[in-house]
Chain A
Amino acid sequence: MAAGHSPLSQFEIKRWVPIQIGDLDVSFTNSAAFMALTVIGVSAFLVLGMRRHALVPGRWQSMAELSYVFIANLVKDTVGTEGRPYFPFIFTVFMFVLFGNLFGMVPYGFTFTSHIIVTFTMAVVVFLGVTVIALIKHKLHFFTFFMPPGVPLIMAPLLVPIEIISYLSRPISLSVRLFANMLAGHTLLKVFAGFVVALGLFGAFPLAFVVALTALEVVIAFLQAFVFTILTCLYLNDALHLH
């Protein structure tokens, strides 16, 4: 197989408009382009969908309203009424990840959620934000979070580090889950697509598999956006209610 057709070449970052500020490389890459496209896509989907704001919604308006109500209910169920002020952020995160995943499914598209640095940055923003909210709301009481109630004091030197590590592992597991799912799915698609041509007439079998896999990938795109959002909500719930 030629070097350009490696299953991993789809994840390559390409500089479209090289920009250099000092030692900093801030080139406009294909990743940045798809992020911009995602933001434009989400805005267009919601703003144009609600343009007519009819009492009886059409298909497009229904989809826009459905996504709003879906996340609003999610926030209400997991965080409760105190979660209302954070709804815009959570809705933005959901739409950004969802549209990023879906734009990645377009042929020749680029999936920026398959890059750990993108998902990790989002996870760190969520993690720091939630921690700051907890610190503002509960002040120093927040640190009792790391000491489970009813534990003998003699166990504290062992348990508190474990709890802190468990807490710090949140952004990593949050980001790796999204990143690994997108990376594995898209690589698998490309590998099986490579078999189609290589097997000649028998390529029909991997082709059928690729069709099924594509459908599965669309489901995963929704599912992982949902998982990322519900985890954000649950962390926010922890921060606000602090058991």
Chain B
Amino acid sequence: MSEPGPADDLQKLDARLKRAEEAARKSGPGGVPKDKPSGNALGLALRVGVELVSALAVGLAIGWLLDAWLGTRPWLMLVFILLGGAAGILNVYRMARGFGYAVGYKPDKPTGRARPGDQGPGIEG
């Protein structure tokens, strides 16, 4: 008497919805891979360039301002250009390691839960 009708389909759909909602509730932050590569080489290249240059620019600006304040021109600027370059490399490194868009982002502490796709310690290793 019960042929697979609309009611049956609805029940199946209901079960699937419940399962999906359960899964969605469980996945907190970091439960989902954060960054899917956009598959766009030009976009990736642009991102790397922007990360490198913006950190360098911030380093330059900090050095410049500190020099103007302390009257030590040009020494602090030279130091902070190097630090800014290092920060830029660090940004790109973190991006390449799959911490995704989150620049200046830290991997979980080695004692903490491991993020999917995150092997080994990060920069502190």
Give the number of chain B interface residues (Cβ < 8 Å).
44
A5 on interface, CB distance cutoff 8 Å: no
Q: Which residues of B sit under 8 angstroms from A151, Cβ to Cβ? A: 124
Q: Which residues of B sit under 8 angstroms from A163, Cβ to Cβ? A: 87, 104
Whether the Cβ atoms of A176 and B50 lie closer than 8 Å is: yes
B34 on interface, CB distance cutoff 8 Å: yes
Count: A-B pairs, CB below 8 Å: 105
A231 on interface, CB distance cutoff 8 Å: yes
Known A172-B54, A223-B38; contact A162-B87, beta-carbon cutoff 8 A: yes
Whether the Cβ atoms of A234 and B104 lie closer than 8 Å is: no
- Which residues between 66 and 125 of chain B lie within 8 Å of chain A, taking CB atoms? 80, 83-84, 86-88, 90-91, 100-110, 112, 121-124
Whether the Cβ atoms of A80 and B54 lie closer than 8 Å is: no
Q: Which residues of A sit under 8 angstroms from B102, Cβ to Cβ? A: 231, 234-235, 237-238
**In-complex Cβ contact of B83 among A76, A165, A170, A173 (8 A):** A165
Given contact pairs A77-B31, A165-B80, A169-B87, a sample of 10 additional A-B residue pairs in the complex whose CB atoms are under 8 Å apart: A76-B24, A80-B28, A149-B110, A151-B124, A165-B62, A169-B57, A169-B58, A177-B47, A231-B101, A243-B112
Q: In the complex, which residue of chain A has the Cβ closest to the Cβ of B33?
A: A77
Which residues on B are within 8 Å of A, measured CB to CB? 24, 27-29, 31-32, 34, 38, 43, 46-47, 50-51, 53-55, 57-59, 62, 80, 83-84, 86-88, 90-91, 100-110, 112, 121-124
Q: In the complex, which residue of chain B has the Cβ closest to the Cβ of A181?
A: B46
Whether the Cβ atoms of A78 and B29 lie closer than 8 Å is: yes
Q: Which among A151, A168, A231, A235 has the greatest number of chain B C-beta atoms within 10 A?
A: A168
Give the number of chain A interface residues (Cβ < 8 Å).
38
A86 on interface, CB distance cutoff 8 Å: no
When chains A and B are docked, how far (Å) is the Cα of A163 from the Cα of B93? Answer: 13
